Structure 1
C-alpha cells in the first residue's frame, strides 16, 4: 500500500483531502508548541495548546463518520485500535491542561513531549495505513454520505472546507434521501431519527431508569412505562383517566397550574425534588408541542437521584470483577 503523500488527485473538499489540510495545521502547531517556553510565554503557549486541542473535532469525525463506514465494509481495526489511540491522546491533553492551569512548568515540560510525539505518531499511522486503505475500500457514494455527516461535527480549519461534491450543502434536518439500511426494516416504524419495531420501543421504555407518564392535550393519561423498579406505583387503571385524579389532593392544584401554563405557552418545564422513602426523587414536567407549537400534552418524568447525587470525580474503568 502506497502512502497518501500527495492529495492533489483528490477532489477539493473530499474528506481525506480535508484531513490533510488539517495535518498541515497540526504540524505547525506541534512545532510551535515545542519551540515556546511556557515559563517565559505562558499565554502564547496556552493559545497554541488550545488550538491544538481542537484536534478533538478530527477524532470525532473519524470515530463517528469514517470508522462506521469502514466497519460496514468489514474493517474494524480502526474502531478498535485507533479509537484507543485517540483516548490516550485525550488523556495526555487532560494531563497537560491540568499542569498549564496550575502553572507547573516542570510538569509541562515533562509531559508535553508525550503529547507531541503521540500526535506525530498518529498522523503517520493515518497517512501510511488508515487513509490509503479507506480510499481503496470505500466508494464515492460512501465519501459523499460521510461528508454530509461531517458538517455536524466540524473541522480544525478556520473556514469550512469546500463542498463535496461541488453542490450546495443540505442540512441533515432537510435531508430526505432514502438510504439502504444495514438492518431489516420489516415491522418497524420510522421516527425522527431511525427505525424501531414496537417490541424495541417497548423494551426501550421498559429499560429506561426513570418513570415516564404521558398526559395528552385533553389532560388524560395515555401512557406510562413499566420499568422493573418504579419510583411511584402505577397500574393500567390510570390509562384514560384524568390526570387530576391521579395525584394526591394536596398536589392537584400545582398539577393543574402546570397544565394551564403549559397549555397557554407561558411555560414549558417545571421541576421538583422530594424525599420519598429515604430517597431523593427528582420530578420534572415537560410540555409536549408539535412542529407548529400546538400543545399536545405533558410528560411527567420521575427519577431516583439519591445515588447520582453522591457521584464525585470520574470513573473511566469497568469494575465488574
Structure 2
C-alpha cells in the first residue's frame, strides 16, 4: 500500500483492522499454505526433491533453537498472551502492571529488529507502521495503569479492553509478519549480534534467560584499529578529531594514568579546570603530581586497584566554594586485567542549585 502511494498515517490507522479481519488470510499465509501443499506434492512424486522453505517455516525453525532471539521473542509473546487472558478473567490490578513489561519487549524490537530490517535490508514497513503502534499501546497502558483503583469506571474498562486487544493483534503481526520477514533476511551473524545486544534488557514476564551457544561464542569481526584516519573500537569508530572533541565535551575533568603509574592523558574542556593539569605532567609518574602528605594515599588506592581488592574510590571536596565529586576508577580489560586508573572530577554546583530550587 505504501509503495503505491497510500499515506503512512492511513496504513498505521488500518494496521489493527487488517490483522483483525484477515487472520490466516494474508497473502504471506496463503503463500505459506500453498508452498506446503506443493512440497507435499513434490515429496509424494519424488522423494529426492529438495524442499522449498517458506519464511514462516524459517521462523519456526529458529523459534525451536534454545536461547535464540526469535525463540525469546516468541516466548515473551506467549507469556504476554497468557497474562492478558488472566487479566480479562480476574481484572486484577497487579496483572495489568505485569502486562506493562511489554514495553521492554517493544523496546527490543525497536532497537534490534526494525532498524536492521530498514537500514540493512531496505524493508521499512515494520519500522514505519508497527513502531508507532507499539508506542501507542505502551503509552495507553501506562496511562490506564496509573489511574487509581477507585476511579476505574466503565470508561476505563472499555479503554483497557481495547488496548489489550491491540496488544493481542500486535502479537499476531509479530508472529506472522515481522518474525518471518526477519528470519528470511537476517544472517546468522545478525542474530548473534542481536543475542549479544539483548543482554542489555531485563528479563520480563518471569521468564528465565536461556543461553544460545552460537550467540555466546560470537565476537565481532576484527577490523584495523587505525585505518584511513579512523579509530575502530568495539563500540564503533571515530576519527581522531571526533574522539578528541567528544572527550573534551564530556562535562568532567578526565585524567588517565596507565598501568605503570604514568600520566598519559588529560582532556581539555572549555571551562577553567578546578584541578590544574599542566601538559608537562604527561609522561611523568602520577605520584610526582601530589604533595608528600597525599602521595601515600594515592599509592595505596592504586595498589588496591592493581590487586583487585577495590574498583572505585569516590570523594566529595569543595574547591573555591563549589562542590566537586571526584571519582578514581580502576580501568580493566574484558578479562579483568588492570590497565590503569581514571580520575573523573565533576562540578556538582548545577545539582546543588537544582535541588535548592526544587525545595
* Same structural fold, with TM-score higher than 0.5 when normalized by the shorter chain: yes
C-alpha change, 1:133 and 1:54, in structure 2 (3 Å) is: closer
Matched, 1:296 2:345: no
Which residue is equivalent to 2:118? 71
Matched, 1:12 2:61: yes
Larger relative helix fraction: 2
If the length of structure 2 is used for normalisation, what is the TM-score? 0.65
Matched, 1:215 2:252: no
Contact kept in structure 1, 2:137 and 2:166, CA below 8 Å: no
Cα RMSD (Å) of the superposition? 3.9
Contact kept in structure 1, 2:313 and 2:329, CA below 8 Å: yes
Tell me, which stretches of 5 or more residues in structure 2 are unaligned?
1-25, 33-54, 64-68
Of 111-120 and 223-232, the range deviating more from structure 2: 111-120
1:174-223 deviation line (CA, Å, top 9, x unaligned): 3135399xxxx644333233333333322321221211101123322111
What SS is found at the alignment partner of 2:331? Answer: strand
Which residue is equivalent to 2:90? 36
What SS is found at the alignment partner of 1:283? Answer: strand
Aligned residues: 293
Of 219-228 and 258-267, the range deviating more from structure 2: 258-267
Query: How do 1:264-275 and structure 2 match up within 5 A?
Result: 264-275=307-318
Structure of greater Rg = 2
Which residue is equivalent to 1:169? 214
Tell me, which stretches of 5 or more residues in structure 1 are unaligned?
39-44, 313-321
C-alpha change, 1:135 and 1:264, in structure 2 (3 Å) is: closer
C-alpha change, 1:201 and 1:27, in structure 2 (3 Å) is: same
Contact kept in structure 2, 1:215 and 1:221, CA below 8 Å: yes
Contact kept in structure 2, 1:70 and 1:134, CA below 8 Å: no
Distance 2:222 2:329 in 1: 33
Query: How do 1:1-321 and structure 2 match up within 5 A?
Result: 2=27, 9=57, 10-14=59-63, 19=73, 22-38=76-92, 45-46=93-94, 48-72=95-119, 73-76=121-124, 78-79=126-127, 82-99=130-147, 104-107=149-152, 111=156, 113-124=158-169, 127=172, 132=177, 135=180, 139-142=184-187, 145-146=190-191, 148-150=193-195, 151-152=198-199, 153=201, 158=207, 168-171=213-216, 174-176=217-219, 178=221, 186-229=228-271, 230-248=273-291, 251-290=294-333, 293-309=336-352
If the length of structure 1 is used for normalisation, what is the TM-score? 0.71
